[in-house]
Amino acid sequence: MSRHDFQIPVTFKHRIVFTRDAFSAGNGCVEELLKEGGGRRAVVLIEQAVALAWPGLEREVQEFFGRTDFDFRGTTVLPGGEQVKGDDGLVRRVWGILDGAHIDRHSYALVIGGGAFLDAVGFATATAHRGVRLVRFPTTTLSQDDSGVGVKCAINGFGKKNWIGAFSVPFGVVNDFRFLHSQDEETRRAGLIEAVKVALVKDGAFFEWIEGNVGALAELVPGVLERCVEQSALLHARHIAEGGDAFETGSSRPLDFGHWAAHKIEAMTKYQVPHGPAVAIGLALDTLYSAEVGLLEKESAMRVLAVLDGLMLGIYHPALDWLEGSGRRRVLAGLDEFREHLGGELTVLLLEDLGRGVDVHEMDEVVLGRCIDVLRERWEDAPAGVGAVVGV
Ligand SMILES: NC(=O)c1ccc[n+]([C@@H]2O[C@H](COP(=O)([O-])OP(=O)(O)OC[C@H]3O[C@@H](n4cnc5c(N)ncnc54)[C@H](O)[C@@H]3O)[C@@H](O)[C@H]2O)c1
Ligand SMILES: [Zn+2]
């Protein structure tokens, strides 16, 4: 027998820009970014909802490339939203566009859209030629404050979230703040849950800032919203770059706090409950559970629930009480699926303080049941409108 182990060191540069009106004449950030890679050819893919909200965008992109010497191969408007992650239809369409435009591994695909669109198109760019350069322009609160700066892409499969996907570091991310202000208010607010999440697991001072600004955030005051999005994006990116496990080979996944239940609720409701509202519920559940098992002070857990109330995010959905034939709550299968998705032993992050998480390897289903009861009662008592987005 002969065995040889090699180390293959690979590092990536993660370029993240915060700006406004990225394609306007006075803004050089996109040109600078593309020039850094040395490639010349580019295509642009825009999510339909964004093209509708910003009717001048296609022309702006065209004019931008007109001012540069890149080999611009045109813009295509494509559908987005969670439904495009439901099958491989969009992925195949994008492969066709990339092939038709002769996009090679040095060329760029500039992709403008929400988290679901970026996930599906990102999977296509990650797999075309084993990876062409993706420049993401996230357009929702959630995609700017979390997923857009991530290094993953996926579509859903076999009834499960993100079953088909890859790790793939984008060439660049341009968070253009202007896109933040054209989604409906509920979607904008729901995306803030990922900022609350990363604050709770990484940065207690940021949680206190969110708490202190909860009114302005709920009202979507632009400057406050943008500051929150930027801080959240940077905390996510820093964790990925400096946390020691960018491609999640271990079992610990702090950025997935509250996500085992969230992903299950999304799948159980056939994605009628979107990701942001589902995370709000999952985060409320795991926060309450942390207090119930004595890890987190009860008062701290109540502060978290008060922030969710303040952001008008729901903390309960009837899916939490849907039962299997055996009488077990169906949502609890989310724990099994979470473990399977990660591999290895079950690892769920709970809170031991506001800003500090701790990994645990089992969750008590009876205690979880009690927490669900509390969330249901609290939700039933909530004033009309709070969390209406996930109402029955
Ligand atoms: N890859 C990752 O690391 C990662 C991390 C977290 C979440 N995600 C994924 O992100 C997705 C959720 O992303 P999302 O919250 O952005 O939802 P989304 O992409 O579904 O967008 C929400 C809605 O807003 C519309 N929209 C997008 N931008 C708009 C704009 N500027 N103006 C008006 N409407 C606009 C979309 O068409 C859609 O209807 C989920 O699929 C989730 O799994 C991925
Ligand atoms: Zn998430």
Report CA(259)–ligand 2 centroid distance (Å): 7
Query: How many other CB atoms sit within 10 Å of the CB of residue 283?
Result: 28
Report CA(297)–ligand 2 centroid distance (Å): 25
Q: pLDDT for 311-350, tens place per residue?
A: 999 999 999 999 999 999 999 999 999 888 777 789 999 9
Residue 390 has pLDDT above 60, yes or no: no
Q: pLDDT for 275-325, tens place per residue?
A: 999 999 999 999 999 999 999 999 999 999 999 999 999 999 999 999 999
Give me the phi and psi of 78, to 5 degrees please: -135, 155
Ligand 1 neighbourhood includes 143 CB (under 6 angstroms)? yes
Ligand 1 neighbourhood includes 145 CB (under 6 angstroms)? no
Ligand 1 neighbourhood includes 358 CB (under 6 angstroms)? no
Give the chain as a 3 state SS string.
Answer: CCCCCCCCCCCCCCCEEEECCCCCCCCCHHHHHHHHHCCCEEEEEEEHHHHHHCCCHHHHHHHHHHCCCCEEEEEEEECCCHHHHCCCHHHHHHHHHHHHCCCCCCCEEEEEECHHHHHHHHHHHHHHHHCCEEEEEECCHHHHHCHHHCCEEEEEECCEEEEEEEECCCCEEEEEHHHHHHCCHHHHHHCCHHHHHHHHHHCHHHHHHHHHCHHHHHCCCHHHHHHHHHHHHHHHHHHHHHCCCCCCCCCCCHHHCCHHHHHHHHHHCCCCCCHHHHHHHHHHHHHHHHHHCCCCCHHHHHHHHHHHHHCCCCCCCHHHHCECCCCCEHHHHHHHHHHHHHCCCCCEEEEEECCEEEEECCCCHHHHHHHHHHHHHHHHHCCCCCCHHHCC
pLDDT band per the 50, 70, 90 thresholds, residue 385: low
Mean pLDDT of the chain: 95
Strand partners, 357: 351
Using only the alpha carbons of the chain, give its radius of gyration: 21
Q: What is the pLDDT of residue 391?
A: 39
Task: Judge contact between 110 and 135, C-beta under 8 A.
Answer: yes
Percent of the chain having pLDDT more than 90? 90
Q: How far apart are the first and last CA of the chain?
A: 63
Q: What is the pLDDT of residue 70?
A: 97
- Domain locations along the chain: 16-182, 189-390
pTM: 0.95
Residue 6 has pLDDT above 70, yes or no: yes
pLDDT band per the 50, 70, 90 thresholds, residue 387: low
Q: What is the pLDDT of residue 215?
A: 98
Pick the CATH number of 189-390 from 1.10.1200.10, 1.10.287.1770, 1.20.1090.10, 1.20.1070.10: 1.20.1090.10
Residue 16 has pLDDT above 80, yes or no: yes
Q: What is the pLDDT of residue 392?
A: 33
Q: What is the pLDDT of residue 389?
A: 43
Q: What is the pLDDT of residue 388?
A: 46
Residue nearest atom 7 of ligand 1, based on CA coordinates: 147
Among 143, 161, 196, which is best to mutate for testing ligand 1, by the most ligand atoms less than 8 A from CB?
143
Report CA(117)–ligand 1 centroid distance (Å): 7
Q: And the tokens for 217? A: 């955030």
Report CA(171)–ligand 2 centroid distance (Å): 21
Q: pLDDT for 205-214, tens place per residue?
A: 999 999 999 9
Residue nearest atom 36 of ligand 1, based on CA coordinates: 81
Residue 223 has pLDDT above 80, yes or no: yes
Pick the CATH number of 16-182 from 1.10.10.10, 3.40.50.1970, 3.30.9.10, 3.50.50.60: 3.40.50.1970
Q: pLDDT for 121-158, tens place per residue?
A: 999 999 999 999 999 999 999 999 999 999 999 999 99
